[in-house]
Amino acid sequence: MNLHVTAVGPLATIQDLGRPGWMHVGVSPSGAADRESHRLANALLGNDAGAATIEVLLGGLELLATQATWVALTGADCGARVDGRAIAWAGPVALRAGQRLRLGFSTAGLRAYVAVSGGVAVEPVLGSRSRDTLSGLGPEPLRTGMVLPAGARPVRPTVDAAPAQRPSPDALYLVAQPGPHMDWLLHGLDATHWQVSPDSDRVGVRLQGRALPRRALRVGTELPSAPMVRGALQLPPSGHPVVFLADHPVTGGYPVVAVLDDTSCDTIAQARPGQRLSMHITTVRR
C-alpha cells in the first residue's frame, strides 16, 4: 500500500525512535521530537513502537491512499479531515482507496504525528528511518509528488480512542535534573521563567528571558567538548539557555547546567515561539 503526498506544509519528515549507538562516529540518535505522541500514534494502530511515522510541523500535509488502510493522528491537533469530513484525533481512522487525508494547521502545539498501519516503510539508514535535520542523514523531507510505501497488510485496530492530552497553549511546566555544571551559575535554575525563541528547531530550543550570570570565577572559562544528550540545557556566553532536542550535535563545549526529563523533552518539543515556560529542578528521577 502506498500513500501519495499531494501537499506539504512548512516541514514534514519521517521519524521513528532514532538510531542510538552511533554517537562515537558523530551520528546523533535523532528520532521523533515528541516521542510519547509518536508511540501513541503507533499504539493506536497496533504497530510496533519503533515503526516510522510522519512528523508534521504545524500542519498542511495532504496524503492520498491507493488502498484501504488505517491511520492515527496524535500530537498537535491540526483539525484533520478525510475528503472534507472531520476525523477523530488520537483514534484510529479508516482510509478507503482514493480518499485524501488533509491536515489543517494547529492552534496549540507544534508537531503532529501521522501513523499508518504497518508503519512508513521507507529504506532505513544505519538502522533507522528517521530524518536527522542537522546532518541530513535519513529519508528526505516530504515533498509534493513523493510516494510513501506502508508496511504490512493493515489489521483492524482494537481500540476506538486514547485518553490523551493535547499540547497546551498555556505556560508549560518543565522538570530537570541538575547538570554537571550547575555550580557555574551564580543563582539557581529552580522556578525560573522563560519564553521560547522563534530561533528554535529539531536541533534545539532557544530560551528568552533574564540572562543567567555565571559565577565570577567561571566568567571567560572554556570547556573541552563533551558528549551531549537529548534534554541537555546548555548555557552559552549570552546567558540564554538552549535545550537540545532530537537532532542535537553529539558534542558541545558550553556548560550543561541541567538535563530535562523525558516527559519535559516531549513537552518542550511541542512549545511554540513566544510560549512561556517555567523550569523546576529535582534530584529525583521520574
Task: Report which of 194, 244, 277 is spatially closest to residue 33, judged by C-alpha positions.
Answer: 244
The DSSP secondary structure of 89-147, one letter per residue, reads SSSEEEE-TT-EEE--B-SS-SEEEEEETT-B-PPPBTTB---BTTTTBSSPPP-TT-E
Backbone angles phi, psi at 193, to 5 degrees: -125, 140
Q: What is the largest CA-CA distance in the chain?
A: 66
Question: Using an 8 Å Cβ cutoff, are 16 and 129 in contact?
Answer: yes
Helix axes 35-45, 262-269, angle to 10 degrees: 90
Domain regions of the chain by residue span: 2-149, 172-281
Question: Using an 8 Å Cβ cutoff, are 231 and 244 in contact?
Answer: yes
Q: Which CATH superfamily is domain 172-281 in?
A: Cyclophilin-like (2.40.100.10)
Walk along the chain (286 residues) in steps of 10 and give the mean pLDDT of each run: 93 97 90 97 94 98 95 96 94 95 96 96 96 95 96 76 86 95 86 94 96 78 87 93 96 94 97 96 73
The β-bridge partners of 72 are 92, 115
208 φ/ψ sector (left φ>0, alpha ψ -120 to 50, else beta):
beta
Q: What is the pLDDT of residue 285?
A: 60
